């Protein structure tokens, strides 16, 4: 077994047979900075959530088996060079860019309300980067030859369908899924299959009972950490140093935030999957 890469959240190993082993750690990142404080049980939740979605979405994927609490063996894929983001609600960075979608994915004259459900899910792909993902248009994807038009259309339609399936499952458990990020790759036959992982680092969850358009929502994902970092001034420091190509050192996360974030991760998994950790 050989370490290929240590990411912000998971470590990736190459096995002797050529397959890949994901080790989901308790590390957490926010605003493209790896935090120094771990979140207990986070790795276990990410691994088991990934297993749950791969088992229940009805699409070919690269999972082979789960090993222990926080390891997943997967087939090696040649990953496609975009991240497939689907947005179902007017929230996050999308709310800052919605004018780009007027007349294309949103009706002209659309009057946005923070956290409101969109008229229909929107495909909002980004570049793929370890540093910072950037939104990219269909025209730029095709003209840059990252994908063919046929491949783009397939990923768009498949991603929206998967989002809708996840939304149905999640709503039955008392949650809403505001947005989600999928990654796809080609297997050894050239077929495009669902890859990477699917957990609360890849989607934004809200409790249905707490949902109220027009304001910031209580999230059952790492948005809780982002909100704390914004209030503490860390996000402002990130933005300031970004102009100089630098990143600030990670702060120590407040123990109450650590405990609550861990609780929310576990609660979301157990409610949605119907399984106990």
Q: What string of DSSP letters covers 201-250?
A: TTEEEEEGGG--TTSPPPBSSTHHHHHHHHHTTHHHHHHHHHTTT--PPP
Domain encompassing residue 164: 78-277
Burial 3-20 (b: 16+ CB within 10 A, else e): eeeeeebbbebeeeeeeb
| Predicted local confidence at residue 37, as pLDDT | 95
Query: Is 32 contained in some domain?
Result: no
- Is 44 contained in some domain? no
Q: Is 204 within the bounds of a domain?
A: yes
- Residue 66 pLDDT more than 90? yes
Which pLDDT does position 81 carry in this prediction?
94
Share of the chain above pLDDT 90, in %: 81
pTM assigned to the model? 0.91
Task: Report the 10 Å Cβ neighbour count for 157.
Answer: 11
Output the six-digit token pair for 145. Answer: 């030859």
CB 52 within 8 A of CB 66: no
Whether the CA torsion 19, 25, 31, 34 is positive or negative: it is negative
Q: Is residue 107 part of a domain?
A: yes
Predicted confidence at residue 191, as pLDDT, reads 96
Q: What is the pLDDT of residues 150-196, one digit of tens each?
A: 999 999 999 999 999 999 999 999 999 999 999 999 999 999 999 99
Integer Cα distance of 96 and 153 in angstroms: 25
Name which of 218, 216, 210, 205 is nearest 268 in CA terms: 205
Give the per-residue pLDDT at 1.
87
Looking from the CA of 262 toward its CB, the CA atoms found within 13 Å total: 18
- Domain-located, residue 106: yes
> Is the dihedral angle over the CA atoms 192, 45, 24, 177 positive or is it negative?
positive
Q: Is residue 98 part of a domain?
A: yes
Q: What is the CA radius of gyration of the chain?
A: 18
Is the residue at 224 inside a domain? yes
Strand partners, 65: 73
How large is the average pLDDT for residues 4-22?
Answer: 94
Predicted local confidence at residue 222, as pLDDT: 86
Alpha helices, DSSP H only, in the chain?
42-56, 93-97, 138-143, 149-172, 223-231, 234-242, 255-273
Give the pLDDT confidence score for residue 107 in this predicted structure: 85
Residues in a beta bridge with 186: 78, 192
Contact 34, 250 (CB under 8 A): yes
The whole-number pLDDT of residue 173 equals 97
pLDDT over 70 (residue 253)? yes
Q: Which residue has the tokens 């609780």?
A: 263
Closest CA to 224 of 82, 1, 35, 12: 35
Domain count, the chain: 1
Residue with tokens 């992982």: 197
**pLDDT tens per residue, range 99-154:** 888 778 888 888 889 999 999 999 999 998 655 678 999 999 999 999 999 999 99
CB burial string 34-54: b at 16+ within 10 A, e below: ebebebebbbbbbbbbbbbbb
Q: How far apart are CA 80 and CA 98, in angstroms?
A: 26
**Domain-embedded: residue 64:** no
Q: pLDDT digits over 215-246, tens only?
A: 989 999 888 999 999 999 999 999 999 888 89
Predicted local confidence at residue 102, as pLDDT: 79
Give CA–CA dist 170/193, Å, rounded: 22
What CATH number corresponds to the domain at position 107? 3.30.470.20
Q: Give the alpha-carbon dihedral of 226, 232, 233, 235, to 10 degrees.
A: -10
């Amino acid at each position: 077994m050989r370490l290929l890469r240590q990411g912000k959240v998971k470590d990736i190993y190459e096995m002797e047979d050529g397959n890949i082993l994901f080790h989901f750690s308790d590390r957490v990142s926010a605003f493209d900075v790896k935090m120094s404080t771990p979140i207990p049980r986070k790795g276990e939740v990410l691994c088991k959530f990934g297993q749950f979605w791969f088992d229940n979405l009805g699409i070919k994927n690269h999972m082979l088996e789960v090993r222990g609490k926080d390891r997943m063996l997967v087939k090696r894929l040649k990953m496609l060079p975009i991240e497939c983001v689907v947005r179902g609600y007017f929230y996050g960075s999308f709310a800052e860019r919605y004018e780009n979608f007027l007349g294309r994915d949103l009706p002209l004259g659309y009057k946005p309300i923070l956290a409101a459900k969109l008229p229909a899910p929107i495909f909002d792909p980004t570049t793929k980067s370890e540093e910072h993902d950037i939104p990219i248009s269909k025209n730029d994807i095709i003209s840059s030859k990252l994908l063919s038009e046929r491949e783009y259309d397939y990923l768009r339609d498949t991603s929206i369908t998967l989002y809708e399936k996840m939304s149905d499952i999640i709503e039955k458990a008392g949650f809403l899924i505001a947005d989600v990020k999928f990654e796809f790759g080609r297997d050894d036959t050239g077929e495009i299959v669902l890859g990477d992982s699917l957990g609360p680092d890849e989607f934004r969850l809200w409790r249905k009972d707490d949902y109220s358009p027009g304001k910031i929502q209580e999230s059952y994902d790492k948005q809780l950490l982002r909100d704390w970092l914004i209030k503490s001034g860390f996000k402002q420091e990130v933005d300031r140093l970004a102009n100089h190509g630098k990143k600030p050192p990670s702060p120590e996360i407040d123990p109450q935030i650590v405990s609550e974030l861990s609780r929310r991760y576990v609660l979301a998994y157990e409610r949605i999957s119907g399984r106990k950790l």
